[in-house]
Structure 1
Amino acid sequence: MIGNSAGRAFLGSFTSAGGLGVTAASVDRETGALTLLGSTDAVPDPSFLAVGPRENGTVLYAVGESAPGVAAAFTVDGDVPTLLAPAQAVDGDAPTHLTLAANHLVTANYTSGSVTALPVLADGSLGAAASVLRHEGSGPDTGRQEAPHAHQVLADPSGNWLVSVDLGTDSVRVCALDPATGALRLHGETALRPGTGPRHLAFHPSGALAYVLGELEPVLTVCRWDAETGRLDVLGEAPVLPEHETADEAVRTYPSEVVVARDGRFLWTANRGHDSISVLTLDESGEKAALVATVGCGGRWPRDLTLDPSGQWLYAANEHSGNVSWFAVDAETGIPRHAGSVEAPAVSCVVFV
């Protein structure tokens, strides 16, 4: 069992590439170190996880990035995550992300280009899919943007809206979710620069700004967010890598994740191919982002990047090298310093309780 003096984390991974599935880990709050505990492969390719409340503890949710795609709930009272109930179909293929909102679990289904809402039942398990919202459109990159590809869905800080980031259509959609029926309704859509291939979005702590990270181009799009009207407006862009390091076509870079500091002073991105973490400073308004440094990610192909609850430790899930690296964040500069790593085959994400 995990002791009271330690924190708890959970890792997702690709079982089809040798990953362990969903893994529990203890966290040393003093050193940031992870110690892996038990794993379960009850769901195929649980690439992304989310933590939710439960009357008697915590529930861990996972997508199964398979075809057809599934979502599942786990109890995490012991060292091995345990399925609460059989996984539920999401009525879409390759779900890559999930979020909790209005008593529902919502998934972004990459291959199908759709978003699905499933009710969360009283015991924390999932009911059958209540609704599916299908995206439409395409982008200029015929190899990656031939159709919609919803890559992330996230509840906004107010809890009134969902935003879904679509790599295939170069856009972010704003949706409303009916808490009683689970019905999803498209509210609006914000177009980004064609070909940037937006992958993930993160909100500023103020709740008034959002930062959208491109996967097909290493660029950050800064947006103003109005929670009252559910409107997202583009303010500008900032590079997440030095220009001379993106000019080499032999080394393509595919940014994967964006994280904002708790105090809103810094922003980090994970960059696959370049195998780095970029550090950007944010001005007092949060509207201007400036690249100040890049550091190695401690492995290869960082698919996920996340802060621990204290905001002092940054974790990179390095999929191709099969390890999670952790970094101490300098409170003055925002620059992460590598502090350790642990082996985790085909790891895809890290979440904390």
Structure 2
Amino acid sequence: MDGSSAERAFMGSFTSAGGPGVTVAAVDRDTGALTVLGASDAVADPSFLALAPGAAVLYAVGESAPGSAAAFDVSGDVPALLGPVRPVEADGPTHLALAANHLVTANYGSGSVTVLPVLPDGSLGEVASVVRHEGGGPDGERQEGSHAHQVLPDPSGRWVISVDLGTDSVRVGAIDPATGVLEPHGETALRPGSGPRHLAFHPAGRLAYVLNELAPTLTVCRWDAGAGRLEPLGETPVLPESAAADSTVRTYPSEVVVAHDGRFLWTANRGHDSISVLTLDESGEKAALVATVGCGGHWPRDLTLAPGGQWLYAANERSGNVSWFAVDAETGIPRHAGSVDIPGASCVVLG
């Protein structure tokens, strides 16, 4: 791979909605087009995926009750289970990430974070630790308790960040590489009722952008890796005023992606069925909405930017397709270029 483009794409989908499970596709470097090669339904509802760096191993959550996590050998065109499917001792895992030689899952249903060891062959060991979150928020239907929605390492690799929609907060912890114990370090409160869902870091590593699901906004935060501390700076709408004020269509933003050069930021917006384009100033602390474009389907659950930044992919869950867009290098505005049918599409990972 020349570093400017991905060679393959891995797509997760809800098998309960007729999806094929974990799908492997070839990526055309010139057009961004995806061609399906094979799929595995060995795990129910593999809604989110993570690819091991420099290795042909892909990890998936099983977003079910009880929830699970699994490793796949993806050296071929059809994913093959690598080791046993592991329980995560929680319900509804919605996200996962690799950190400190472990796999970490965010468990929406149980409001917890689970840590599993990654064994030398890439397979998963049994659960090493589970941290359960406490609290809730003002939205009685969605925030009756904790709902951990995303987990990811910070750019320094020292900290593990978990975004909790139910408690309107972002939590910071650290994993002991030897034991897999996740030690809580701190918690940052965001605006009550905002429902933070996912977070993405600025490429310089000093800022983080939290996308809020219950309010279609983006919270810009300063990140201090030395102290392991997140500081909210301000909140920016991700929809035009007319769309935000439309009471007939409620929008639930799902994913946030930052350009590799830090000039642009994109969000996927379910309900409005759009991709929002925001510009970032030179400091990265000011975000401004400049455009929205159609997502190429219905209910965009995930967004992924190609390694070279020229292609953007959207997994449209309810229309059952993955769309790709050519990104204008000057404006950041995506132009729809094609799509492939993936029933229950929920996630796209490039590698």
- 3-state SS, counterpart of residue 16 of structure 1: helix
What's the CA shift string for 1:26-61, capped at 9, x where partnerless? 00010000001111000000000000047xx41000
Q: Which amino acid is the alignment partner of residue 307 of structure 2?
A: P
- 3-state SS, counterpart of residue 244 of structure 1: helix
Cα distance in 2 for partners of 1:198, 1:63 equals 20
Range 144-153 or range 238-247, more displaced: 238-247
Name the residue aligned to 1:94: 92
What's the CA shift string for 1:58-107, capped at 9, x where partnerless? 10000000100000000011110000111001111000000000100000
Q: Are the counterparts in 1 of residues 6 and 306 from structure 2 also a CA contact under 8 Å?
A: no
Name the residue aligned to 1:242: 240
Cα distance in 2 for partners of 1:268, 1:6 equals 19
Cα distance in 2 for partners of 1:121, 1:49 equals 18
Shift of 1:6: 7.4
Call closer, same or farther: CA 1:53–1:205 in 2, change over 3 Å. closer
Equivalence map 1:148-159=2 (5 Å):
148-159=146-157
Q: Which amino acid is the alignment partner of residue 22 of structure 1?
A: V
Shift of 1:121: 0.2
Q: Are the counterparts in 1 of residues 159 and 172 from structure 2 also a CA contact under 8 Å?
A: yes
Name the residue aligned to 1:106: 104
- 3-state SS, counterpart of residue 243 of structure 2: helix
Cα distance in 2 for partners of 1:332, 1:247 equals 30
Q: Which amino acid is the alignment partner of residue 12 of structure 2?
A: G
Cα distance in 2 for partners of 1:6, 1:103 equals 24
Pairing partner for 1:69 from 60, 67, 70: 67
Cα distance in 1 for partners of 2:27, 2:312 equals 12
Name the residue aligned to 1:350: 348
Name the residue aligned to 2:21: 21
Pairing partner for 2:281 from 258, 266, 283: 283
Instruction: With the length of structure 2 as denominator, give the TM-score of the two structures.
Output: 0.98
Name the residue aligned to 1:296: 294
Name the residue aligned to 2:191: 193
Cα distance in 2 for partners of 1:230, 1:53 equals 24
Equivalence map 1:1-353=2 (5 Å):
7-53=7-53, 57-353=55-351
> Which runs of structure 1 show a deviation greater than 2 angstroms over 4 or more consecutive aligned residues?
none
Cα distance in 1 for partners of 2:75, 2:183 equals 36
Residue segments in structure 1 that go unaligned for 5+ positions in a row: none
- 3-state SS, counterpart of residue 225 of structure 1: strand
Call closer, same or farther: CA 1:221–1:292 in 2, change over 3 Å. same
Cα distance in 1 for partners of 2:202, 2:152 equals 13
Q: Are the counterparts in 1 of residues 72 and 81 from structure 2 also a CA contact under 8 Å?
A: yes
Cα distance in 1 for partners of 2:82, 2:184 equals 31
Q: Which amino acid is the alignment partner of residue 19 of structure 2?
A: G
Cα distance in 2 for partners of 1:114, 1:317 equals 25
Shift of 1:244: 1.4
Cα distance in 1 for partners of 2:246, 2:229 equals 37
What's the CA shift string for 1:114-144, capped at 9, x where partnerless? 0000000000000000000110100000000
What's the CA shift string for 1:148-178, capped at 9, x where partnerless? 0000001000000011000000000001110
Cα distance in 2 for partners of 1:348, 1:272 equals 12
Q: Are the counterparts in 1 of residues 50 and 96 from structure 2 also a CA contact under 8 Å?
A: yes
What's the CA shift string for 1:282-335, capped at 9, x where partnerless? 000000000000000000000000101111100000000001110000000000
Q: How many residues are treated as equivalent by the alignment?
A: 347
Question: Superposition RMSD on alpha carbons, in Å?
Answer: 0.9
Cα distance in 2 for partners of 1:131, 1:232 equals 24
Shift of 1:243: 1.3
Q: Are the counterparts in 1 of residues 69 and 85 from structure 2 also a CA contact under 8 Å?
A: yes
Cα distance in 1 for partners of 2:6, 2:261 equals 24
Q: Are the counterparts in 1 of residues 6 and 350 from structure 2 also a CA contact under 8 Å?
A: no
- 3-state SS, counterpart of residue 56 of structure 2: strand
- 3-state SS, counterpart of residue 139 of structure 2: coil
Q: Which amino acid is the alignment partner of residue 162 of structure 1?
A: V
Cα distance in 1 for partners of 2:7, 2:97 equals 22
Cα distance in 2 for partners of 1:244, 1:309 equals 34
Q: Which amino acid is the alignment partner of residue 91 of structure 2?
A: D
Q: Which amino acid is the alignment partner of residue 52 of structure 2?
A: G
- 3-state SS, counterpart of residue 303 of structure 1: strand
Q: Which amino acid is the alignment partner of residue 14 of structure 1?
A: F
